[in-house]
């Protein structure tokens, strides 16, 4: 059971979570509970760090950020204990979550689950701090944004033999066809495949962390996204075969949802020579500095020169610009163009690639609203367009109407 920050934001909510966990225990399960930092604690700690220095040392930042979850686990531990149940809270390090040394965005290397098993055997409810682990030097590391999801799924993958099940409790009742804050008619999705969920997540739908879904897919962990504050059934994230069996459909394309990502900056390097190794040079330099690139578009060559465009998130803007200035000189490109006022809107669904009509419907729906498409990328299960950010709501509404009828 994983509870997000909004589920443990106040003492009252923590007591409510304690009751949910105890119910699960009474049903005969041995719950292992992962919690995030309360409410906006992580953001507040980051803000605090930036009052000390513009560039906080990553190791020290992890030392700081990990306190947020430590507060949650101890408070939840007290709450459960005060209701008469045996419980133990564990930091990432105590729970045996070993990571690499990439501070602020570490990857889980292995989980040594002996301690958790021992405590479960004693009949205790085990609470584990999400988002954190320990590197080979005994330093505290954190797993990046949404890392608590990853902690929960990785624990389910490690601790449970079969069927592996992870419940993600949040402040919404599941995954929606589109952000319900934007699209009033958005519908809850009952079941969704890992791949579709991955596309939804990587397109900015904030429900779950991508890396968590990747691990769930790899280890066949069924994830149920549900509400902490409602008994309604949530959204099951599972294998595609399961979805098909359940839906009774095989070849029909299904649009699962519409998502967006406001955190996009578009860069273009103009007039780079059309020769092998150019893209490798640009994206190699970016990778060296740990910049995650989202969409990449290379225009068809013209006069033996290309434009190469890509998008990144806002927080790496300065870094990217610096790298591109260097690369520009080395490659003899004519210029660098960027646009910070863009966003990405995507439609997601299985089998859409084999139905070319779907892309056309998307472009037509946007065109009808006079929305200009600046970049397009497609995958097996997703079509994404970069558009001006101020047009996002209009675009979302048009697309939801086109594919979901309202």
Quote the CA–CA distance of 357 and 360 in Å, as a whole number: 5
Map residue 269 onto helix, strand or coil.
Answer: strand
CA dihedral 174, 344, 184, 404 (to 10 degrees): -80
How long a stretch of residues is the chain? 406
Rounded least distance, CB 315 to its own copies, Å? 18
Rounded least distance, CB 287 to its own copies, Å? 25
Q: Output phi, psi for 125, to 5 deg.
A: -75, 130
Which of residues 77 and 257 has its CB atom nearest to its own copies in the complex? 77
Q: Are 122 and 86 in contact (CB under 8 A)?
A: yes
Map residue 145 onto helix, strand or coil.
Answer: coil
Quote the CA–CA distance of 304 and 69 in Å, as a whole number: 54
Which of residues 71 and 160 has its CB atom nearest to its own copies in the complex? 71
The residue ranges that bind its own copies (CB under 8 A) are 11, 14-15, 45, 48-49, 51-57, 59-61, 63-64, 66-67, 70-71, 73-75, 77-79, 81-82, 87-89, 91, 94, 115, 138-140
Which of residues 60 and 190 has its CB atom nearest to its own copies in the complex? 60
Which of residues 73 and 399 has its CB atom nearest to its own copies in the complex? 73
Largest CA distance in the chain: 76
Contacts of 286 (CB under 8 A, 6+ apart): 293, 312, 320, 323
Rounded least distance, CB 154 to its own copies, Å? 20
Rounded least distance, CB 256 to its own copies, Å? 40
Closest CA to 345 of 397, 280, 299: 397
Rounded least distance, CB 132 to its own copies, Å? 12
Which of residues 1 and 156 has its CB atom nearest to its own copies in the complex? 1
Quote the CA–CA distance of 291 and 312 in Å, as a whole number: 8
Rg of the Cα trace of the chain? 23
Q: Are 151 and 143 in contact (CB under 8 A)?
A: yes
Enclosing H/E stretch for 258: strand 254-273
Which of residues 55 and 250 has its CB atom nearest to its own copies in the complex? 55
Rounded least distance, CB 159 to its own copies, Å? 19
Quote the CA–CA distance of 395 and 251 in Å, as a whole number: 28
Rounded least distance, CB 403 to its own copies, Å? 46
Rounded least distance, CB 3 to its own copies, Å? 15
Rounded least distance, CB 51 to its own copies, Å? 4
Q: Are 344 and 311 in contact (CB under 8 A)?
A: yes
Which of residues 73 and 221 has its CB atom nearest to its own copies in the complex? 73
E strand residue ranges, 71-194: 87-90, 97-99, 108-111, 125-129, 132-134, 140-142, 165-170, 191-193
Which of residues 94 and 393 has its CB atom nearest to its own copies in the complex? 94
Rounded least distance, CB 60 to its own copies, Å? 4
Which of residues 58 and 253 has its CB atom nearest to its own copies in the complex? 58
Q: Report helix angle 114-121 to 147-159, nearest 10.
A: 70
Q: Are 111 and 97 in contact (CB under 8 A)?
A: yes
No. of helices (H) and no. of strands (E), the chain: 12, 18
Which of residues 83 and 301 has its CB atom nearest to its own copies in the complex? 83
């Amino acid at each position: 059971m994983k509870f997000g920050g909004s589920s443990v934001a106040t003492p009252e909510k923590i007591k409510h979570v304690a009751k949910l966990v105890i119910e699960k225990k009474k049903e005969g399960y041995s719950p292992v509970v992962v919690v995030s930092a309360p409410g906006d604690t992580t953001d507040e700690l980051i803000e605090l760090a930036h009052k000390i220095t513009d560039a906080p040392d990553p190791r020290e930042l992890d030392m700081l950020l990990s306190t947020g979850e430590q507060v949650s686990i101890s408070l939840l531990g007290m709450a459960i204990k005060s209701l008469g149940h045996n419980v133990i809270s564990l930091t990432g390090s105590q729970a045996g979550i070993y990571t690499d040394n990439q501070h602020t965005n570490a990857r889980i290397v292995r989980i040594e689950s002996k301690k958790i098993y021992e405590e479960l055997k004693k009949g205790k409810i085990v609470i584990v701090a999400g988002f954190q682990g320990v590197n080979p030097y005994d330093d505290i590391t954190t797993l990046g944004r949404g890392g608590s999801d990853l902690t929960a799924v990785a624990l389910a993958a490690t601790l449970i033999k079969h069927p592996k099940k992870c419940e993600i409790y949040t402040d919404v009742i599941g995954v929606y066809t589109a952000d319900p804050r934007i699209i009033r008619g958005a519908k809850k999705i009952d079941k969704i495949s890992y791949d579709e969920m991955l596309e939804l997540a990587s397109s900015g739908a904030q429900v779950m962390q991508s890396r968590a879904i990747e691990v769930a897919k790899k280890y066949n962990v069924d994830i149920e996204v549900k509400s902490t504050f409602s008994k309604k059934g949530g959204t099951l994230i599972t294998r595609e075969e399961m979805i098909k069996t359940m839906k009774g459909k095989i070849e029909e394309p299904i649009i699962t949802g519409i998502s967006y990502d406001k955190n996009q900056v578009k860069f273009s390097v103009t007039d780079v020579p059309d020769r092998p190794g150019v893209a490798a040079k640009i994206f190699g330099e970016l990778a060296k500095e740990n910049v995650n690139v989202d969409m990449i578009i290379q225009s068809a060559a013209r006069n033996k020169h290309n434009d190469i465009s890509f998008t990144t998130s806002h927080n790496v803007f300065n870094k990217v610009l610096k790298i591109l200035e260097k690369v520009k000189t080395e490659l003899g490109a004519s210029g660098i163009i960027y646009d910070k006022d863009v966003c990405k809107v995507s439609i997601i669904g299985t089998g859409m690639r084999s139905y070319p009509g779907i892309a056309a419907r998307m472009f037509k729906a946007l065109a009808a609203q006079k929305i200009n498409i600046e970049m397009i990328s497609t995958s097996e299960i997703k079509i994404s367009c970069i558009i001006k950010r101020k047009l996002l709501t209009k675009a979302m509404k048009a697309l939801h109407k086109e594919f979901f009828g309202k």
